[in-house]
Amino acid sequence: MLPVAAISSGEGGAGWREPLRILVVEDEFLLALVLEDDLAAAGYTVVGPYNSLSSAMAASQREAFDVAILDVNLDGEMVYPLADDLIARGMRFIFLTGYVANDLPERFRKSNRLPKPYDPAALLREIARVRSGN
Amino acid sequence: MNGLQVALLVADSAVPQSASEPGLHERILEHLPAAIYMTDAEGRITFYNRAAAELAGREPELGKDKWCVSWRLRRHDGTLLPHDECPMAIALKSGLPVRGEEAVAERPDGSLVPFLAYPTPLFSANGELIGAVNMLVNVSERSADTVMRDQSERFDVLQSRLAAIVEFSNDAIISKDLSGTISTWNKGAERIFGYTAEEAIGQPVTILIPEEQSDEEPGILRRIRNGERVEHYETKRRRKDGTIIDVSLTISPVRDHLGNVIGASKIARDVTGRKRAEEALARRVNEQAALHEFTARLHRATSLKEVYQAGLDAIIKALGCDRASLLLFDENEVMRFVAWRGLSEGYRMAVNGHSPWTKDSSDPNPIFVDDIETADLSDHLKEQIRSEGMRALGFVPLVTKGALVGKFMTYYDRPHVYSRAEADLCLTIARQLGFSVERLRAEEARRRVEEALRESEQRLQLALTAGRMGAWEWELGSGRVIWSPGLEELHGLEPGTFGGTFDDFKRNIHPDDLPMVEARIGDALRTSEDYHVVYRIDHPSGTIRWMESFGRFNRPAEGRSPRIAGVCMDITERKQTETQRDLLVAELSHRVKNTLATVISIARQSFATNPDAVEAQRSFNARIRALGQTHSRLAEASWSGVSLETILLDELAPYRREDQTNLSISGPYTSLTPKQALTLAMAAHELATNAAKYGALSHRGGRVEVEWTKTEGQLRLKWCETGGPKVVAPTRYGFGRMLLERIVAADLGGDVRIDFASGGLCCEIDMPLQPR
């Protein structure tokens, strides 16, 4: 597998402690594929990917993870119930979506959000920022 | 003659005093020279004096003779007058005195004594007839000479009086003989006819008779000869100066002492003045009637045309002219005929536009041309008037509100002297006509404006209805809010049921939007600027409707309170459309970005899994083209779906041979969702490129068969290759295979089995057709 630019950063990845666990919710197989590659290359452990709201909700209860990356539109189904749930539980997440802020419900307009198609380096920086709580 | 006074004296005093001093009065009466006698109520003679006995020629028998002291009585004509019909009898029977009744007493000796009797009835204090006293005056002593002289004197007096009457009469008193020669001529005749007595006497009476009346005289003379009178005969006579006068004649025959008609006396009265007055009166009556009718018609008139016709009728009737016309300035300030009587088209064409005044002439005066031949008019105009057969004409200006608006014309076929009265009449008609023209013009203009307003209001209503709009108005002074029926309908109210206050307006506004609406209204009131607000209302149907309202602040006219007026429309549908559009835009954005992410993913996989860079490039390009092709199919169907057969043909058509023997595609019509279509298209692309590179489509005898079935919402598709090169299972798990096996499972919830049989590759796909 050819390395991609972001992989070289190595941030949050290998090292002295358990790798961070990233819950991935993405319905498009090809997109999930790339996301999985990028996260793995950066040393994260990918939980998922899950391609439906129900499977993602179940996984979020079941699996341990540090940060969730959420596609918004899951084949016509919106991921908002899961986002609300994560907020309620104090869990951190990033929307990875083609939607602009105004397309989102008002309560999510200030949530962490990365536009599609994403820059892998930006994704890794965003994960680091979200994890550190800034 | 004082006998009467004496008699009355006797009547007043004798009777009551006769008791106290009997005989005194009787002694006085006895010696009076007048004949006096008295009777009781029955007429029996109770007293007579000496003179009475002398007149009667006898001694009457007291208490026996009745009524009269005379022996016999005769009337003036000698016939016998019975005593009980004598003046005394009449006075006693009637209770009234008789004064100087003439009768003749016949004495027993046959001599006759004419006398005048003055009997007076006598009444007691309580009004009872007690008798009468009579005085008889002997008139036989007056001689025939005396009578003749008296008569002559009386005639002279009469004659002189008559002469004075004749001389100073206002009437002409003329006599003529039977040959018609004038024989007497008074001052009145001189005044009326202009001839002096010297000039007239001896002349034939025909010098006074105009030619037109020349056949009258023989008839008059014939009637006079027959002794007839002609009274109040009205005719015309000619004065010495030739003027014709109206006279009223009374002609009587004059007779000699034998009664033969020897001539005629004629009284002529000049009635010219009266005639003129009568004619003038008739004319005034006619004018007044015409004006009255004119006024009434103007009052009733509802169109300019009616005003014109009433005007022409009034002009012709009141002025008695032969023709008339009415002209008004048109919009180019050219005087044009609007109505006429008796004018030819040629004349109207020729003089149209002619006016003695211009539009801005101030205080124009009427112009009257008594005779065009002597008038100061252009030769051209004269010729036109002449050829129309007219001689006199009047130009009368029509002025309203101080400005000239037109004129009316009067025309006479003969020369005509316009009198002062006619000029005044013209001005009267012109005033009324001008006023009515102005009134009707204003009314017609108002009607046109009203009509235009009505039309524009109808158009507005149509527009409001068609646009689901309503109109509103808010009077700030009274606080009254007026809604059009359309606006009530938008709010789900029956027409006329809106309350009409600002609170009623606020009632239906959604509570979340009310503060914003009030703030906007406040802004509009403060700045007097236009008002525009979009808000929601709670519709009685239980739904929420979106309203958009525009208002404009109307600066009030003096004395009126300010208002805001505007329109309000239901924009719920537009709002819904906007929401849908926003959703579509978001969806499109989402798809585009997902697609780009997909392209990145395909690129990464294409290049990462293929060591041959050129080959990788080709595969990548082909995959992106396939993706683009499927997108086109979906766009053609507005992203509603596309059939499985289309997707398969798109991928396989490039490899089909002309004889079509290398391909077979069969199955029932199956509609795919966009996602199913995109995923299956990618799978088909990988299978087709693999077959073309290594499988059945790379070899002349090779053949691909695609078959599918639909069972209970489940699609089962089979791809089988035959006749191709011997199949060798791949050593490398390439992107294509991964795509095939995993993408269909992940994205479509299906199951893919690939069998690398040596006779040919076989791939089976099982997937649900209903999306998860």
Nearest CB to B601 within list A33, A73, A103? A33
Q: Mean pLDDT lowest for which of B210-214, B364-368, B753-757?
A: B210-214
Residue A102 is given by DSSP the state G
Residue B582: pLDDT band (50, 70, 90) is confident
Percent of all residues in chain B with a pLDDT value above 70, rounded to a whole number: 94
B639 touches chain A (CB under 8 A): no
Structural domain tally of chain A?
A: 1
Q: Are B291 and B268 in contact (CB under 8 A)?
A: no
Percent of all residues in chain A with a pLDDT value above 70, rounded to a whole number: 85
B598 φ/ψ angles, rounded to the nearest 5 degrees = -65, -40
| Distances in whole angstroms, Cα of residue A6 to Cα of each of A3, A40, B86, B173 | 8, 11, 179, 155
* Residue-level pLDDT at A3: 35
* Residue-level pLDDT at B668: 92
A15 φ/ψ angles, rounded to the nearest 5 degrees = 150, -145
Q: Is B593 close to A73, i.e. CB distance below 8 A?
A: no
- CA-nearest of B52, B80, B54 to B68 is B52
Per the prediction, chain B carries an average pLDDT of 84
Q: Is the pLDDT of residue B17 over 50?
A: no
Helices B613-636 and B572-609, interaxial angle, to 10°? 160
A114 touches chain B (CB under 8 A): no
| Distances in whole angstroms, Cα of residue B550 to Cα of each of B374, B489, B531, B534 | 74, 18, 5, 9
Q: Domain range holding A33?
A: 19-132
* Residue-level pLDDT at A121: 87
To the nearest whole angstrom, how far is the Cα of B634 from the nearest Cα of chain A?
Answer: 16
Q: Is B747 close to A29, i.e. CB distance below 8 A?
A: yes
To which H or E segment does residue B755 belong? strand B751-757
d(C-alpha B498, C-alpha B469), whole Å: 16
B705 touches chain A (CB under 8 A): no
Chain centroid to Cα B109, Å, comes to 104
Question: Sign of torsion, CA B210 B215 B220 B225?
Answer: positive
Average pLDDT of the residues in B376-404: 89
Q: Is the pLDDT of residue B326 over 90?
A: yes
**Which residues, at least 6 apart from B54, have a Cβ–Cβ distance to it below 8 Å?**
B35
d(C-alpha B443, C-alpha B435), whole Å: 12
Contacts of A103 in chain B (CB under 8 A): 582, 586, 589-590
B675 touches chain A (CB under 8 A): yes
Q: What residues 559-588 of chain B have any CB closer than 8 A to a CB of chain A?
A: 582, 586
B598 touches chain A (CB under 8 A): yes
* Residue-level pLDDT at B147: 58
Average pLDDT of the residues in B540-548: 88
Q: Are A90 and A99 in contact (CB under 8 A)?
A: no
Average pLDDT of the residues in B72-98: 86
Q: What residues 728-767 of chain B have any CB closer than 8 A to a CB of chain A?
A: 742-743, 746-747
B597 touches chain A (CB under 8 A): yes
Average pLDDT of the residues in A123-131: 87
* Residue-level pLDDT at B32: 78
d(C-alpha B337, C-alpha B328), whole Å: 7
Helices B644-652 and B613-636, interaxial angle, to 10°? 150
Expressed in angstroms, the distance from the first to the final Cα of chain B is: 165
Is the link from the previous residue into A49 a cis peptide, with omega within 30 of 0? yes
Percent of all residues in chain B with a pLDDT value above 90, rounded to a whole number: 12
DSSP B174-193: EEEETT-BEEEE-HHHHHHH
Residue B20: pLDDT band (50, 70, 90) is very low
SS3 B328: strand
Q: Are A11 and A29 in contact (CB under 8 A)?
A: no
Query: Does residue A42 lie within any of the structural domains?
Result: yes
Q: What residues 10-49 of chain A have any CB closer than 8 A to a CB of chain B?
A: 27-34, 37
Q: Mean pLDDT lowest for which of B295-309, B333-347, B426-440, B482-496?
A: B482-496
Average pLDDT of the residues in A91-99: 88
Contacts of B593 in chain A (CB under 8 A): 97-98, 115-117
Chain centroid to Cα B310, Å, comes to 13
Residue B369 is given by DSSP the state E
- Asked if B281-441 and B459-570 have one fold, the answer is yes
**Which residues, at least 6 apart from B250, have a Cβ–Cβ distance to it below 8 Å?**
B229, B230, B231, B232, B233, B266, B267
Query: Does residue A13 lie within any of the structural domains?
Result: no
Q: Is the pLDDT of residue B393 over 80?
A: yes
Compare B6 and B351 and report the one with higher pLDDT: B351
Tokens encoding B688: 């087709």
SS3 B596: helix
Compare A134 and B636 and report the one with higher pLDDT: B636
Structure-token match 């009374």, residue found: B250
SS3 B529: coil
**Size (chain A), residues:** 134
Query: Does residue A3 lie within any of the structural domains?
Result: no
CATH code of the domain in which A26 resides: 3.40.50.2300
* Residue-level pLDDT at B256: 76
With 0-12 / 13-18 / 19 or more C-beta atoms within 10 angstroms meaning exposed / middle / buried, residue A4 is middle
Which residues share a beta bridge with B131?
B40, B122
Average pLDDT of the residues in B199-204: 90
Query: Does residue A48 lie within any of the structural domains?
Result: yes
Superfamily (CATH H level) for B581-768: Histidine kinase-like ATPase, C-terminal domain (3.30.565.10)
B462 touches chain A (CB under 8 A): no
Contacts of B742 in chain A (CB under 8 A): 29
Residue B21: pLDDT band (50, 70, 90) is low
Contacts of A116 in chain B (CB under 8 A): 593-594, 596-597
Q: Is the pLDDT of residue A69 over 90?
A: yes
Q: Is the pLDDT of residue B687 over 70?
A: yes
* pLDDT digit string, tens, across residues B151-167: 677 777 777 777 777 77
Q: Are B680 and B713 in contact (CB under 8 A)?
A: no
Contacts of B746 in chain A (CB under 8 A): 29, 32, 51
* pLDDT digit string, tens, across residues B592-642: 888 888 888 888 888 887 778 888 888 888 888 888 899 888 888 877 889
Average pLDDT of the residues in B658-685: 88
Q: Are A8 and A93 in contact (CB under 8 A)?
A: no
Compare A7 and B214 and report the one with higher pLDDT: B214
A122 touches chain B (CB under 8 A): no
Compare B772 and B573 and report the one with higher pLDDT: B573
CATH architecture group of domain B3-141: 2-Layer Sandwich (3.30)
Contacts of B607 in chain A (CB under 8 A): 2
d(C-alpha B266, C-alpha B256), whole Å: 17
* pLDDT digit string, tens, across residues B129-150: 888 888 888 877 655 556 566 6
To which H or E segment does residue B380 belong? helix B379-387
Q: Where are the alpha helices (DSSP H) in chain A?
A: 29-41, 53-62, 80-88, 120-132
To which H or E segment does residue B715 belong? strand B714-722
Q: Where are the alpha helices (DSSP H) in B556-637?
A: 572-609, 613-636
Q: Are B444 and B304 in contact (CB under 8 A)?
A: yes
A1 touches chain B (CB under 8 A): yes
| Pairing outcome for strands A21-25 and A67-70 | parallel
Q: Is the pLDDT of residue A78 over 80?
A: yes
- CA-nearest of B424, B391, B425, B438 to B316 is B425
Contacts of A76 in chain B (CB under 8 A): 771
d(C-alpha B418, C-alpha B415), whole Å: 10
Q: Where are the alpha helices (DSSP H) in B171-329?
A: 187-193, 197-200, 216-225, 272-300, 304-319
Residue B13: pLDDT band (50, 70, 90) is very low
Closest-approach residue (CA) in chain A for B673 = A75
Helices B572-609 and A29-41, interaxial angle, to 10°? 60
C-alpha triplet B623, B626, B628: angle, nearest 5°: 110
**Where do the domains of chain B lie?**
3-141, 162-270, 281-441, 459-570, 581-768
Query: Does residue A4 lie within any of the structural domains?
Result: no
Nearest CB to A117 within list B582, B600, B742? B600
With 0-12 / 13-18 / 19 or more C-beta atoms within 10 angstroms meaning exposed / middle / buried, residue B416 is buried
Closest-approach residue (CA) in chain A for B582 = A103
Nearest CB to B593 within list A29, A32, A116? A116
Superfamily (CATH H level) for B281-441: GAF domain (3.30.450.40)
Is the link from the previous residue into B725 a cis peptide, with omega within 30 of 0? no
Q: Is B597 close to A73, i.e. CB distance below 8 A?
A: no
Q: Is the pLDDT of residue B646 over 60?
A: yes
**Which residues, at least 6 apart from B114, have a Cβ–Cβ distance to it below 8 Å?**
B76, B102, B103, B104, B105, B138, B139, B140
Predicted complex ipTM exceeds 0.85: no
Q: Are A33 and A3 in contact (CB under 8 A)?
A: no
Which residues share a beta bridge with B120?
B133
A106 touches chain B (CB under 8 A): no
d(C-alpha B157, C-alpha B151), whole Å: 10
pTM, two decimal places: 0.45
Residue B556 is given by DSSP the state P
Q: Is the pLDDT of residue A85 over 70?
A: yes
Q: Is B747 close to A27, i.e. CB distance below 8 A?
A: yes
Q: Specify the CATH number of the domain B162-270.
A: 3.30.450.20
* Residue-level pLDDT at B736: 80
Number of neighbouring beta carbons within 10 Å of residue B559: 5
- CA-nearest of B314, B349, B348, B309 to B437 is B309
Q: In the CATH hierarchy, which top-level class contains the domain B459-570?
A: alpha beta
Residue B363: pLDDT band (50, 70, 90) is confident
Average pLDDT of the residues in B266-277: 82
- CA-nearest of B320, B324, B326, B364 to B342 is B324
